[in-house]
Structure 1
Amino acid sequence: MAAQFEAQPDYIHQDIKECVDVLKVMGVTKFSKHLQRELDMWKHTDLNIAVVGNSGAGKSSLINAILDLETDDDGMAKVGVVETTKTVTTYRNNNRPNLALHDFPGVGTPNYPQKGYFDKIGHKLSEYDFFLIVSSDRFTEYDLWFAKQIKRDEKHFYFVRTHIDLSIYKDKRPGPKKLKAKKVMEEVKKSIYEPLKKEGVIDDDCHIFLINNDAKLEFDFERLLQTLIKDSPVLKRQTMILSLAADVDETINEKVKILKGRMYKVALLASSGSAVPVPGVGLAAEAAVLYKEGCFYREQLGIDDKGLRRLSNHLNIEIEQLMKNFHLESHLVLISAKELIKWASVHVVSEALEDISKLILPVLGSLISAVASFPLCLNTLNKLLTMCETEARQLHNEVARSVLNDDIRQ
């Protein structure tokens, strides 16, 4: 069935109008390079998060969780109970290197006393977009001191209490598991909030997050990511979203919004290069651009080859069986640009093209002949994204069910 296109916000049409103006001035070749630079702009914008706290607080595990780094990944932060951070150490996911987490040495140690701490580490607070103040046990005077320094510089900061699952497990009070967990979490949050409130550091507890680094779908991990996305500087928000893993609902939702928003520029990029149609489909040189973007959808939504391997390991099922059980198609459609053309010749049907033309093509005006394949490219991208999103949500829901079943068995 043909995908239905809804009327798009005015800013989408304005974007396209601006692109058309640039195309008129630059010509096709320069315009294509210009458009590609705009699509890749997020790759050239860095977002820096400082992670502070004492040794054994779970900083390394938190860094690995946010960056989606596992034991077989290069650059994974070393996890241990001894002091592993001697200087400010920077971590990135090599596949999405624009998001950097910087592990600070613990303050108040013999090597890094509170007095002169920032001179000793050689870094200024102004270098960072956010600060995560991490603890795994009681809230300390050093955590409070750090918060005051950051507040003075008017930077965003958040309190992350790790190992909340262990605190719940160790609690021996009688009663139902869920009620006990709720009471423990309330008490832990209160123990952090009250000294901060007393010192005038925060007004409410919305920036306190209780997490288990090994279970992103539990407790406040998703709320933490949601807050970081919301509070990211406007020019860096896309970098933040596209640099996170698609393993919680919030990041999947935000990624899909961005991928939909860039769809029109990608279609213009593809169609502006050639107006020569392939019989039955209308895709020629455009296929290379569409294939690249389709692979980007898979990688961003965690259903590329690497993502599927991780999901199969998590669900303890062979990858071939996983693909069969969930009727996954994107890995077959996006084997190559040639396979994409074959798939599009069957699935990109003409019924939807009239709808697209009514919504978008009037914006293109006199340049319609130069981008005659624009509707076909746009419809292909729409169907590819719909397919990838559906697969990602199916697999994410299956992981969530698996986690819930594990909790029930325990």
Structure 2
Amino acid sequence: MEEMIMFFYDLLLVTISYLRPKPSPPTRCPMRSSGGRRGSYSQPRDRRPINVAVTGPVGSGKSTLVRAMLRDPGEEVVGEEEVDSSDTPKSFVFPNNPRVILWDLPGIEGEADDSAQRAPEEPGLPVFDFFILTSGSRLNEKVLNLARNIEQTGKQFFFVRTKVDVYVRQTQQTSFTQAQLLREIRRHFTKGLQAAGVQAPRVFLLSALQPRSYDFPDFMQAFGGEFSTRD
């Protein structure tokens, strides 16, 4: 099981490495930049699927987050957040935009290491266009490593601190209001990502079991807006 999870983690890093911009040969008549934002498509009429990788440490609630993203806004939330135990990637069509494919990847285990990141013989996964990194507690070194590698590709990603309702409930600090506590959490993760080399991290604090609370509505609006202009 652990070997399979490490295989998919190495595979994800290989995929990100493949996405890194390669030096292009000089041209006599370079085209002018379209002025689009970093990570946007150069071909606005491209109708291929948009593959979104959802990844994070085991137990960070990424599978619950994917289910919440697929859920109808008026649907009742039932059940507890599960431990991400699957060792097989699963893909889902995002209902608000059928071109968007959410990939629930196997959870990351352990701390970061610099073992050889060899490409497997048959990857079986697409090249990802966007990433959602999840964390249910502190910043895992492997999450920071992934964030650093994604930043170097020029791709976009959201960082999602899941289970924030549990943290707020368990943190008994009379000197802090909930709003102040959430600001401190956001500042902590933002500074950690910036220290890892992410220039403008987009951090969301949410609970997938409370889709009307915390940052979940803003997260869904921002996520939908990422692809609304991609024809």
- Identify the TM-score tier after normalising by the shorter chain: 0.5 to 0.7
Residue 35 of structure 2: aligned partner: none
Aligned-partner Cα distance in 2 for 1:161–1:235: 27
Q: CA deviation at 1:200?
A: 2.2
Structure 2 residues without counterparts, runs of 5 or longer: 1-46
Task: Find 1:232's aligned residue among 205, 227, 230.
Answer: 227
Are residue 165 (structure 1) and residue 156 (structure 2) matched? no
Pair 1:150 & 2:150 matched: yes
2:119 paired residue number: 119
Counterparts in 2 of 1:246-261, with a 5 A limit?
A: none
Give the drift of 1:152: 1.7
Hey, what's the Cα distance between the residues in 1 that align with 2:160 and 2:108? 16
1:326-370 residue CA offsets vs partner (Å, 9 max, x unmatched): xxxxxxxxxxxxxxxxxxxxxxxxxxxxxxxxxxxxxxxxxxxxx
TM-score of the aligned structures, taking structure 2 as reference length? 0.65
Check whether the contact 1:108–1:114 (CA below 8 A) recurs between aligned residues: no
Shift of residue 116 of structure 1? 5.0
Q: Which amino acid aligns with 1:65?
A: A
The structure that is strand-richer by fraction is 2
For residue 145 of structure 1, report the CA deviation from its aligned partner.
Answer: 0.3
Aligned to 2:16: none
TM-score (norm 1): 0.39
Cα distance in 2 between the residues matched to 1:94 and 1:190: 32
**Please, which of 74, 80, 83 is the counterpart of residue 82 of structure 2?**
80
Could you say what the CA RMSD is over the residues aligned between the two structures, in angstroms?
A: 3.4
Deviations 1:291-311 (A, max 9, x none): xxxxxxxxxxxxxxxxxxxxx
Quote the sequence identity (%). 25
The alpha-carbon deviation at position 114 of structure 1 amounts to 6.1
Alignment of 1:8-407 (within 5 A): 46-68=49-71, 80-81=82-83, 83-92=84-93, 97-109=98-110, 115-116=115-116, 119-120=119-120, 122=123, 127-174=127-174, 180-203=177-200, 205=201, 207-232=202-227, 234-236=229-231
Larger Rg: 1
Which has the larger helix fraction? 1
Contact kept in structure 1, 2:159 and 2:204, CA below 8 Å = yes
Count of matched residue pairs: 180
Secondary structure of the equivalent of 1:87?
coil
Cα-to-partner distance string for 1:36-94 (whole Å, 9 max, x where unaligned)? xxxxxxxx753321101011101011001111179x9xxxxx9622x422132212368
Aligned-partner Cα distance in 1 for 2:92–2:117: 21
Letter in structure 2 aligned against 1:49:
V
Deviations 1:239-284 (A, max 9, x none): xxxxxxxxxxxxxxxxxxxxxxxxxxxxxxxxxxxxxxxxxxxxxx
> What CA distance in whole angstroms lies between the structure 2 residues aligned with 1:118 and 1:79?
33
Q: Which runs of 5+ in 1 are unaligned?
A: 1-43, 73-77, 237-410
Name the aligned partner's letter for residue 102 of structure 2: L
